[in-house]
Each structure stands twice: as structure tokens, then as C-alpha cells.
């Protein structure tokens, strides 16, 4: 099943709410959010004006990614309110079909996975007995 959470992604003056896959296998040095082209189009940053083209090692092999050189911020959406406010490195990966949260962003958003297989998680300020289901 996997764990998916609701997030708000803001770039410049545009914000978008979406579901994102929590992926501990997506290792990064700083908080990163990888999104497909359609998300970048909705934010009016595709095709990109300022970017760095890089190669990334993914589960599907080596792929070219676009590191967007725009300020981007992500919030975790809990019960229709926003928590945390994390500056992220925004990656556009044309081979993706959904947004993916890196390990550093998982930590920065305060997400604790209880069960990947059952899609269960908790926010860092939730009571210990509170369990959330995948979005």
C-alpha cells in the first residue's frame, strides 16, 4: 500500500494541494520533493526557465531530472490545516506519476511511519495512540 500524505506545495505565488508518497528509499542531503511534469505545469513552472539538469539513480534506473531553481515550500496538511513550513529543493522527474517525499523531507515534516505495508503513520505532535491512514 505505502504511506501517502496530503501536502501543500507553493512556488512563487501559486500553491497546490496534492498527495505525496513517503519514500524512505529516496535519500537526499536536504529536504527534496520530486514531482511529475503535470504538477510542474499546474504551478506554471514547466517548461522550466531556470533549472539544472542532473542524472538521478532511481529504482527504475538512471533518469534525467530537472532541479528547479525557484524557491519552494511544503506544508503537511492535517484535517484541513497546514503544519510545518519547509523550504524544499524541487525536482521535476518526467518519469514519475506522483509526488515523492525524500527522507530529509519526511523528517522535516514530522512524519513517523508506523507501517508502510498497511499505510499507517503519525505526525510528531500526535498522541502516541493516534494512528493516521494513508491519504
String of DSSP letters for 68-127? EEEEEEEEEEETTEEEEEEEEEEEE-TT-SSEEE-HHHHHHHTEEEEETTTTEEEETTS-
pTM for this prediction: 0.94
Helix (H/G/I), strand (E/B), else coil: 133:
strand
Q: Indicate which CATH number applies to the domain containing 108.
A: 2.40.70.10
Q: Is 134 inside a domain boundary?
A: no
Residue 59 binned pLDDT confidence (cut-offs 50, 70, 90): confident
Q: Is 86 inside a domain boundary?
A: yes
First to last CA, the chain: 11
Q: Is 105 inside a domain boundary?
A: yes
Helix (H/G/I), strand (E/B), else coil: 13:
coil
Give the per-residue pLDDT at 60: 79
- Using one digit for the tens of pLDDT, what is the confidence trace for 64-75? 999 999 999 999
- In this predicted structure, the answer to whether residue 80 has a pLDDT above a threshold of 90 is no
If one counts the domains in the chain, the total is: 1
Q: Is 44 inside a domain boundary?
A: yes
Residue 31 binned pLDDT confidence (cut-offs 50, 70, 90): very high
Structural domain of 92: 4-125
Q: Is 132 inside a domain boundary?
A: no
Amino acid at each position: 500500500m505505502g504511506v501517502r500524505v496530503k501536502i501543500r506545495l507553493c512556488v512563487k505565488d501559486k500553491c497546490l494541494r496534492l498527495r505525496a508518497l513517503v519514500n524512505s528509499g529516496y535519500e537526499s542531503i536536504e529536504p527534496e520533493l520530486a514531482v511529475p511534469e503535470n504538477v510542474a505545469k499546474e504551478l506554471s513552472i514547466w517548461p522550466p526557465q531556470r533549472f539544472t539538469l542532473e542524472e538521478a539513480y532511481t529504482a527504475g534506473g538512471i533518469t534525467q531530472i530537472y532541479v528547479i531553481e525557484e524557491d519552494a515550500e511544503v506544508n503537511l496538511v492535517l484535517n484541513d490545516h497546514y503544519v510545518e513550513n519547509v523550504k524544499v529543493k524541487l525536482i521535476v522527474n518526467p518519469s514519475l506519476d506522483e509526488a515523492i517525499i525524500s527522507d530529509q523531507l519526511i523528517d522535516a515534516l514530522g512524519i513517523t511511519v508506523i507501517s508502510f505495508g498497511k499505510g499507517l503513520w503519525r505526525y510528531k505532535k500526535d498522541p502516541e495512540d493516534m494512528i493516521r491512514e494513508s491519504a
